[in-house]
Copies of this chain bind each other. A is one copy, B any other.
């Protein structure tokens, strides 16, 4: 298959590829700058198959970097901007990145986290002259089986795993979504989700495959997003529930234009009260279920079922299949079990983690670890996120990862982290700990410890001292019991 940006620039060179608050770029222009950057990167030693870490804000430079790497068949490892130094260092070492391409805004953080790889800044790279550089061999084709990006996701053990997504994973996701949502020549997708997440990255891919303009926001500001929607050019937007809520708060009673035809709502469960607001305002919400391993959404609920199937994540996208494993699979309708996914968008493997990869698949089905059921009409209802996953503002927090940090304090003997409801972010993490000496316990110290090791969003908002943590017979922590305990003591649940 032809390389996507190369083909797109050949087919529709003059079409707008990207808009930002203060610029516009055609596919031809994007292609030219990506080729130029590829030349420069090649001259630095970046070659086919290299792992290249990218720590950049949501700007056109990120887009150029990703496409330049594709032109070199190098593998992009986008890093989460919110990660703490130690987390970044782990990921850089784990993927053995030869280069880290930062931008001016992230340079300091990159420098602190970086240990072994060559640090470049995109702004400087783009200023280099290319006239004197040797012309590298720019790839013009791709193979769908080749790795394209590696995105880290925190695992259940607290040790993040690099999810290897092939060109095929991305291609099939874009196509599956196309069949589901359709495409008009006037479509334009607003991207205010991070490009380092699979949700944002999937828009970067759709952009070139569909030939559809993307309005790219550097940061998420509810007022700006709302203004863009009202301006009438934006047709689609990807959001998580907490963002949508802020956009609606900002929007007041203003009516969204008819050309605005899709809010693709991912990143965890959606509060019913939010859906009700959207229904009242006739905002077309497509609830989705997906994860990095499925290259973004794999199950979607169209707006016509928002009421009839409230609480459902919908049905599989066309090339995908969902099955419930309740011990004897496939489960009966209504019978809960682990959600399995099969299809060409599913990731290839976890980097350097043969064991985890093996555990993740049964007979070609990917085991999500999430619990859910299919109703008699085939709609998926997600009951429980995998391994007590906490989702806060669309970011995943694995309790085990936070607990491991708390246990670094020598006074701490045990730790349990749960998510509690939060009106702004959906959920927020809090921690329960047991200690050797209660007189040496200081909640603020523990929070500071977490802050130094973890991305801000993962840091417990509260650390509660307790006598013992609930366990099962095998001394496995029962986080659900912790939640029940919390609920009893905080009956005025805000949601």
Of A178-186, A388-396, A399-407, A430-438, the stretch lying at the interface with chain B is A178-186
In the complex, which range does the number of interface residues on chain A fall in? 20 to 34
Is the Cβ of B315 less than 8 Å from the Cβ of A11? yes
As a 0/1 sequence over residues 326 to 370 of chain A, the CB contacts with chain B under 8 angstroms (1 = contact) are 000000000000000001100000000000000000000000000
Assembled-state Cα–Cα distance A343/B11 (Å): 16
Interface positions of A from 124 to 151, Cβ below 8 Å from B: 141
Q: Is A378 an interface residue (CB 8 A)?
A: yes
Interface string of A148-184 (1 = CB under 8 A from B): 0000000000000000000000000001001100111
Q: A7 interface residue, CB < 8 Å from B?
A: yes
Task: Name the interface residues of A6-29: CB closer than 8 Å to any CB of B.
Answer: 7-8, 10-11
Quick check: B178 and A179 within 8 Å, CB to CB?
Answer: yes
Tell me if A117 counts as interface (CB < 8 A to partner B): no
Max chain B C-beta neighbours (<10 A), residue from A179, A185, A321, A343: A179
In the complex, what distance in Å separates the CA atom of A10 from the CA atom of B182?
A: 18
Closest residue of B by beta carbon distance from A378: B10
Contact A319 B185 (CB under 8 A): no
CA distance A178 to B320 in the complex (A): 18
Contacts of A209 in B (CB 8 A): 179, 318
A179 partner residues in chain B, CB cutoff 8 A: 178, 183, 209-211
Pick from A183, A211, A343 the residue with the most CB of B within 10 Å: A183
Main secondary structure of the interface of A (DSSP, over half): mixed
Residue of A10, A184, A320 with most partner-chain B CB within 10 A = A10
Kindly list chain B residues whose C-beta atoms are within 8 Å of the C-beta of A184.
182, 184
Q: Tell me whether B183 and A1 are in contact (CB under 8 A).
A: no
Interface: A272 (CB within 8 A): no
Within 8 A of B (CB), among A94-118: none
Can you name the residue of chain B whose Cβ is closest to the Cβ of A319? B1
Report if A2 contacts B (CB, 8 A): yes
Contacts A178-B178, A182-B185; A2 near B319 (Cβ below 8 A) = yes
CA distance A319 to B185 in the complex (A): 19
Report the Cα distance A216→B7, complex, angstroms. Answer: 34
- Provide the bound-state CA to CA distance between A175 and B183, in Å: 12
Q: Which residue of B lies closest to A185 (CB)?
A: B182
**Can you list, as one digit per residue, whether each of A206-219 has a CB less than 8 Å from chain B (1) or not (0)?**
00011100000000
What chain B residues lie within 8 Å of A378 (beta carbons)?
10-11
Digit string of A180-199 for contact with B (CB within 8 Å is 1, else 0)?
00111101000000000000
Report A484 CB to chain B, min CB distance, Å. 37
Tell me the complex Cα distance, A315–B13, Å: 12
Let me know if B182 and A11 touch, CB within 8 A. Answer: no
Nearest residue, chain B, Cβ from A377: B13
Q: When the two chains form the complex, which single residue of B11, B141, B175, B318 contacts A7, counting CB atoms closer than 8 Å?
A: B318
- Nearest B residue to A181 via CB reads B183
Q: Which residues of B have CB within 8 Å of A175?
A: 175, 178
| A183-B183, A315-B10 known; A344 vs B178 contact (CB < 8 Å) | no
Q: How far is the CB of A171 from chain B (nearest CB, A)?
A: 9
Query: Contacts A175-B175, A178-B178, A344-B1: A11 and B183 contacting too (C-beta < 8 A)?
Result: no
- Chain B residues lying within 8 Å of A316, measured Cβ to Cβ, are 7, 11
Closest to A7 in B: B318
The distance in angstroms between the C-alpha atoms of A1 and B316, with both chains bound, is 12
Judge whether B182 and A1 touch: CB under 8 Å: no
Report yes or no: B318 in contact with A11, Cβ–Cβ below 8 A: yes
| Chain B residues with CB under 8 A of A141 | 321
Within 8 A of B (CB), among A291-335: 315-316, 318-321
- Return the contact of A183 from the options B182, B211, B343 (Cβ within 8 A): B182
CB within 8 Å of B: which residues of A?
Answer: 1-2, 7-8, 10-11, 141, 175, 178-179, 182-185, 187, 209-211, 315-316, 318-321, 343-344, 378
4 closest A-B pairs by beta carbon, nearest first, are: A182-B183, A1-B319, A11-B315, A2-B321
